[in-house]
Amino acid sequence: MTTAPNATAASLLGFLHDGPQSGWELTAAVTEQLGGFWSISRSQVHRELGRLAELGLVEAGESGRRDSRPYTLTSSGRQAFADWIGRGPEEATVRLPLLLFVSLGRHLDPEVLASILAEQRKHQAALVREYTAARRQLADAQLDQFRLATIDYGLATARLTLRWLDDVQKQLGTAD
Amino acid sequence: MTTAPNATAASLLGFLHDGPQSGWELTAAVTEQLGGFWSISRSQVHRELGRLAELGLVEAGESGRRDSRPYTLTSSGRQAFADWIGRGPEEATVRLPLLLFVSLGRHLDPEVLASILAEQRKHQAALVREYTAARRQLADAQLDQFRLATIDYGLATARLTLRWLDDVQKQLGTAD
DNA sequence: GTATGACCGTTCATTGTGGACGGTCTTGAC
DNA sequence: GTCAAGACCGTCCACAATGAACGGTCATAC
């Protein structure tokens, strides 16, 4: 009984539950729906699809328009996915460049630091607007409550980061 | 004028501002101080140190006790770090297994899902306690405000995730 | 008809992780 | 005093993941 070898492969199997899709389509779907908290790259997607095909968890169809090759979930693929998701999420390895940057902030000129933080603030604000729009749009079309929940997480995180940036800026201002 | 090739190398240069350290010590320091939002691996640290030495950004000292080899920041290393941090944080590539898991939750039996979420809740609660303790301990010893800020971020994030898990669980309960 | 740009897979250099291995020094139980 | 356990320390390797570059196909607009 094969199991999905890693989280990336598993996510592909998950998305293939919605019907046959090509590597390109899968990449687009994952990026659009999970982009905020689950990044993948095209090259990785294709490599995993190739392997999944070898393992028989997925079946490559005839190449359609423009080299697009649709993959279909097999029954053992379905089983492998069930195995994987039943084991629960693995531990996260987090890398947030923004946090690394701030934690080394004492080595940077306060003026420059302030202007960079302001820029980051803008970025987070844009993110909040983006998530808010997505939320509104998806609340209408009633959909998967799980997907709604993940959007809520993204929104909450963006808001948190925004508030945190404000706090940091404020504290820096009063520091002198 | 060389610049730190990547964020990992840059973080090492940053930490070496506090004095000469071996790869082991650097790994420990980064893990302890930034573990929540900046993961590194021992193998990667040593590879980067080797390269930094080749680039002359760092100088390997005489091997001390137990193969420990201390590295010292050179003046060009200092300059390379300044260059790097002056450019601001790069874009984050986020991968949160918990979020991937929940977003695929519809494929999992609700009972099993609930028990896994409960487990994750415990994990987050422990994290909150951990950060709270660290915060208290570091607020006494007056220290770098930047480091305090990063701890605050970790704490806020853990709390957010905890609340979010509660929301998800609640929503699942009422779904039937 | 042809230029532009969306689509689609492949390749490769580089970054990053985790486990295994081998070795060194310290500490404490006996 | 010895010796076992465990902390310390670097190295090696298989595997995972990213991003940029390349080459090619098709549709559309002019």
**pLDDT tops 70 at residue A175:** no
Q: What is the mean pLDDT of the segment spanning A59-75?
A: 88
Per CB-CB distance under 8 Å, the chain B contacts of A14 are 104, 107
Nucleotide nearest to A38 (CA to C1'): D17
Residue A44 Cβ < 7 Å to strand C = no
- The integer distance in angstroms from the CA atom of B45 to the C1' atom of C28 is 33
**Where do we find the tokens 């490559």?**
A60
Q: What's the mean pLDDT when you consider all of chain B?
A: 92
Which pLDDT value is given to residue B175?
A: 57
Which pLDDT value is given to residue B29?
A: 96
Within 8 A by CB and 6+ apart from A89, the residues are: B97, B98, B100, B101, B116, B120
**Residues β-bridged to residue A21:** A71
**CB contacts < 8 A (A, B):** 163
Could you tell me what percent of chain B has a pLDDT over 70? 95
Nucleotide nearest to B48 (CA to C1'): C15
pLDDT-based confidence at B12, cuts 50/70/90? Answer: very high
**pLDDT tops 60 at residue B161:** yes
pLDDT-based confidence at B137, cuts 50/70/90? Answer: confident
CB atoms within 10 A of CB B28: 13
Q: Is the pTM of this model over 0.85?
A: yes
Residue A130 Cβ < 7 Å to strand C = no
Closest CB to B34 among A90, A103, A112: A103
Distance CA B86, CA B89 (A): 9
Note whether B14 and B85 are within 8 A (CB): yes
What does the pLDDT look like over B23-53, one tens digit per residue?
999 999 999 999 889 999 999 999 999 999 9
**pLDDT tops 60 at residue A98:** yes
Which pLDDT value is given to residue A51?
A: 96
**pLDDT tops 60 at residue B115:** yes
CB atoms within 10 A of CB A150: 26
Which pLDDT value is given to residue B5?
A: 81
- Contact B89/A116, CB-based, under 8 Å? yes
Which pLDDT value is given to residue B67?
A: 83
Q: Which nucleotides on strand C sit less than 7 A from a protein beta carbon? A: 6-20, 22-26
Closest CB to A107 among B17, B95, B96: B17
Q: What is the mean pLDDT of the segment spanning A152-174?
A: 93
Q: Which amino acid is at B43?
A: S
**Residues β-bridged to residue B72:** B59
Q: What is the mean pLDDT of the segment spanning B48-67?
A: 90
pLDDT-based confidence at B1, cuts 50/70/90? Answer: low
Per CB-CB distance under 8 Å, the chain B contacts of A150 are 99, 102-103
Distance CA A83, CA B108 (A): 10
Q: What is the mean pLDDT of the segment spanning A81-97?
A: 95
Which pLDDT value is given to residue A174?
A: 67
- Contact A145/B171, CB-based, under 8 Å? yes
Which pLDDT value is given to residue A67?
A: 84
Calculate the alpha carbon distances from B18 to A8, A104, B59, B60, B76 in Å: 39, 11, 15, 16, 16
Q: Which of B40, B65, B33 is nearest to B147 (CA)?
A: B33
Closest CB to A119 among B36, B88, B91: B88
Six token digits for residue A30: 């994952």
Greatest mean pLDDT range, A167-171, B66-70, B97-101: B97-101
* DSSP structure class, residue B38: B
- Contact B96/A92, CB-based, under 8 Å? yes
**pLDDT tops 90 at residue A3:** no
Nearest-CA residue of chain A relative to B11? A100
